[in-house]
A and B are shown apart, each in its own frame.
Chain A
Amino acid sequence: MLKFLARRVASGVAMLFVITMLAYGLIYLAGTDIARTLLGQNASAQAVTLKAHQLGLDQPLASRYWNWLMSALHGNLGTSWFSGVPVTQLLAARLGVTLSLVVISVAISAVIATAVGVWAAVRRGWVDRTLQVVSLVGAAIPNYLVALVLVLVFAINLRWFAPTGYTRPQDSLSGWVAAITLPVIALAIGAVAGVAQQVRGSMIDGLRQDYVRTLRSRGLSERRVVLKHVLRNAGGPALSVLALLFVGLLGGVVIIEQMFAIPGLGSLSVSSTTQGDIPVIMGVVVVVAIIVLLVNLVIDIALGWLNPKARVS
């Protein structure tokens, strides 16, 4: 197990290097006139040139990336070219917000999708057919459209929730729950549909296995057979889908954060990209890449726990 972990961590670190290098190159290829964006359209050419020099934009690309990398390896992600706030501070203020949305959405999706998928696989008939139709519809509707409808109905018309904004849990727990309810529902609806289908499929396959017949013939209750044995074996593919879901939601949360004016990593990445605030963009890239790599590692460990054969493959 330790060897397995060490291999995964090493490959993750290598991938992180590649990702940051590609990201850095892509930002500069975008060709944004960062100095002018900082100074405004009416700034003189002289002021723009001076600003570009102050930011090191007149240095070769490789040299700029190397300097950034060396600082990052020492834990210094720099400061925002626009606000002057340390990048780590900006990220720290927003990471928890985004993670709370994504983690809660994934958790809720996992629980509901598992329950619905198992129910459909066991009951079949109209339950199964309904699930398939609902899954198709849920996957087809973009989550920003769902968000728009939720805001219109529950926030603007019924006034049950605030349409925008975010409250930190340390300021008000009930306010925090109220603030994330609609965004989480918008994120989870499409996710539940996809994961439920996966669970349903895996469960149906599992229920057809010979060992299930053997377990039933030994007198185990149907509930024990389904929940303790079949679900565990069917959990592997579903976990993989959940990992993909987590990564997908990290990207999908960008639009949701903008729509609800939630100060998360998604909205930070959009604003910093528009401005060409390279230190912040790279900070977001590093954090998101680390999260994705960690999630994949955790899922691999969980898969190994569920299926011992996977540990040595």
Chain B
Amino acid sequence: MSPFEEQSEIVRQEQLTPEIFRLTLKAPEIAGTARPGQFVMVRISSCYDPLLRRPLSIHQTIGGKQVQLLYKVVGLGTRLLASMHSGQQLNLTGPLGHGFEFAGKQAICLVGGGMGIAPLYFLAREILRQTRPPKCMVLLGARTAAELGPLPQDFLDLGVTKIHLATDDGSLGHHGFVAELLPQHLAPDLHWTACTCGPQPMMKAVVSQCRQQGWECQVSLETMMACGISACLGCAVPRADLSGPYLHVCKDGPVFKAEEVAWL
């Protein structure tokens, strides 16, 4: 499916926590074809600082007309984005990249850390919308309970029944890392497919757990990128065997099979 460049009007800007925002945009072309795990490139400023578009994964589409993005303020670009309000316009390109593969799986476990939770919500919704949904487990982690904000409840509202949380400071759920929840909660007699997105060390731990159990694992990677459309070639990641041409997150990903990429 070909991507679009779309001038999009902001419908809603919601502040979920002191640092986390949810932005809803009118973008019917992108919303009409987007799949879970795909991303958009957002042009935040019409000036030259920040210069480049920002890649943001799609948190969900609404009614095939709107695109929702979940982001945390981490730098100049996201700070500017957070200052924008409904009625203002943003230019988006997307939907870009390859998303998660979830059709025909027996049991799927979504493992999200921090802002990596963003694309997993869209994925959970699409999994549950299937006529015969698989067993679906959701494991979410963050540094603190405050950082998770309303996100766990959002998953419950979707109809997710099995959800477990972990926080680094123990303020909510398991006191520790989210990857530690996998062996605790995933029935070993099922063939699980883990879909994970979050900080690199967290995903590495999830990949390692899956490898031990012989489960499938799909990872959504984030890198610096200038264009999102495989022209700049800035988003290179090494293949698992460290040889051959680099993979590119924008085109070959952002979702990869864990065994395709090197976990250095």
Question: Are the chains A and B members of one assembly?
Answer: no
